[in-house]
Amino acid sequence: MSKIVIAGGNKLEGEIKVSGAKNTVLPILAATLLNGGKNIIHDCPDLKDVSASLQILERLGCKIQRQGKTIIVDSSSIKDYQIPDHLMREMRSSMIFLGSIIARCRKAILSYPGGCEIGPRPIDLHLKALRQLGVKTSEAHGYIYCDVDRLEANDINLRFPSVGATENTMLAAVLAKGTTIIRNVAKEPEIVDLQDYLNAMGAKISGAGTSVIKIEGVSKLHDVEHTVIPDRIVTSTYLAAAAITGGTVKVTNTNPENLQAVLAELRECGCEIYLEKNAITLSRPSVLQPVDVIRTLPYPGFPTDVQALMMAVLTLAKGTSIISETIFENRFKHVEELIRMGADIMVDGRVAVIRGVEKLTGANVNAMDLRGGAALVIAGLAAEGVTIVEGVQHIDRGYENIEDKLASLGADIKRVD
């Protein structure tokens, strides 16, 4: 298994370009099933989760081509409507295929996507919304069985603005008969990008980015070409790396509008931030200041995916900060590992109290999930001595060669097998 080895202490300096967003590519790849034609998607990052999604599409009968960061999916002939256990287990967010498989095949069989490192990851909201569109669902032997004669529009209210449930419901409703309204939807930028993709293939959707999405069902969709939006979580990762090392980093091909809550907290802890239309420059001239409380919330609140990254930065602030993780049940797996590096963090349920320390020291640490792993890498950049991060496979799910990207900014970091 690979490890990432970091000799801490270098200030990061320079410019780094962000690729397309993992969390928009995944639902868009699911959407390629809908048009039974050609889908050209640009600026796709080379990630394990993207490869896992392409394996699923191939298994269903799609033809895939990859040309650099462009992925071409031909979904004209679909031969299956099942996602087998091993593919579901490889990536629990494969759940996002359910709505589009049902819309295309009028049936679907998925193995139950077990929980993952950050919590049980239930799918009740997905299944409830699909049932309201006329889908019959049953669960047995660890599988979910779905079928429908004809998807019928409905007025659906999500009990929680779940990103995945919003996406699955949109994907299922595009070809339903009538006009579907989905209320209390997730408002993430990735939902807007999915709406843009679907409308580019002939769907009639409006409201993404607000609390209510309206979908006028259509009978036919056509070929589409699309460039995905930049990854706001990867952007936040590079900014946090600059903040913790005290360097100056310019992140390009990014959209500052999509991460205002993160920028506000970085300013709160003493960073200077200069914004351009598609770029963010962060420097941290003075000492890191604590933040009174960060509460993770659905967009546009502070994103749960940046919680671990911000915690790493706050371990070195001159004072005490509080982080409340309101979205996932178990998203503090990185705390124990940060404590091994000398951090002073106390967790009580979903609340972490971070008392700033003078320094972190390098240690052998374990990445337990995607963003927690990235947080350990960031902490290693600022720690005194050498940090060895194991469990790199988690990090590779959401970051393209994280060690090369950080090394290009002056970090002393390498991957060893």
Binding residues vs ligand EPZ (CB under 6 A): 22-23, 26, 93, 119, 121-126, 160, 162-165, 186, 304-305, 327-328, 370-371, 398
Shortest Å, Cβ 174 to ligand EPZ? 18
Shortest Å, Cβ 265 to ligand EPZ? 16
Is the Cβ of residue 93 or residue 248 nearer to ligand EPZ in the bound state? 93
Residue with tokens 């202490």: 9
Is the Cβ of residue 126 or residue 226 nearer to ligand EPZ in the bound state? 126
Shortest Å, Cβ 398 to ligand EPZ? 5
Is the Cβ of residue 326 or residue 361 nearer to ligand EPZ in the bound state? 326
Shortest Å, Cβ 145 to ligand EPZ? 17
Rg (CA), the chain: 21
Distance CA 157, CA 183 (A): 5
Is the Cβ of residue 48 or residue 371 nearer to ligand EPZ in the bound state? 371
Shortest Å, Cβ 215 to ligand EPZ? 19
Q: In what order do the strands lie in the sheet with 320-324?
A: 293-295, 320-324, 351-355, 344-348
Distance CA 54, CA 122 (A): 24
Q: In what order do the strands lie in the sheet with 63-67?
A: 63-67, 70-74, 38-42, 224-227
Is the Cβ of residue 81 or residue 302 nearer to ligand EPZ in the bound state? 302
End-to-end CA distance of the chain: 6
Is the Cβ of residue 148 or residue 327 nearer to ligand EPZ in the bound state? 327
Q: Are 299 and 186 in contact (CB under 8 A)?
A: yes
CB neighbours of residue 416 within 10 Å: 10
Question: Would you call 101 exposed, middle or buried from its count of C-beta atoms within 10 A (0-12, 13-18, 19+)?
Answer: buried
- CB nearest ligand EPZ: which residue? 164
What's the helix, strand, coil split of the chain in %, to 5?
35, 30, 35
Q: Are 312 and 378 in contact (CB under 8 A)?
A: yes
Shortest Å, Cβ 186 to ligand EPZ? 6
What are the CB-based long-range contacts (under 8 Å, 24+) for 205-214? 205/170, 205/174, 208/170, 210/185, 211/161, 211/183, 211/184, 211/185, 211/187, 212/181, 212/182, 212/183, 212/185, 213/166, 213/170, 213/181, 213/182, 213/185, 214/179, 214/180, 214/181
Active-site residue, selected from the candidate residues 116, 146, 269, 271: 116
Shortest Å, Cβ 297 to ligand EPZ? 10
Strands 82-83 and 204-206, sheet pairing: unpaired
Q: Which amino acid type is present at position 375?
A: A
Which DSSP letter does residue 409 get? T
Is the Cβ of residue 126 or residue 405 nearer to ligand EPZ in the bound state? 126
Q: Could you confirm whether 271 is annotated as catalytic?
A: no
Q: What angle do CA 179, 108, 22 make, to 5 degrees?
A: 75
Give the catalytic positions in this structure: 116
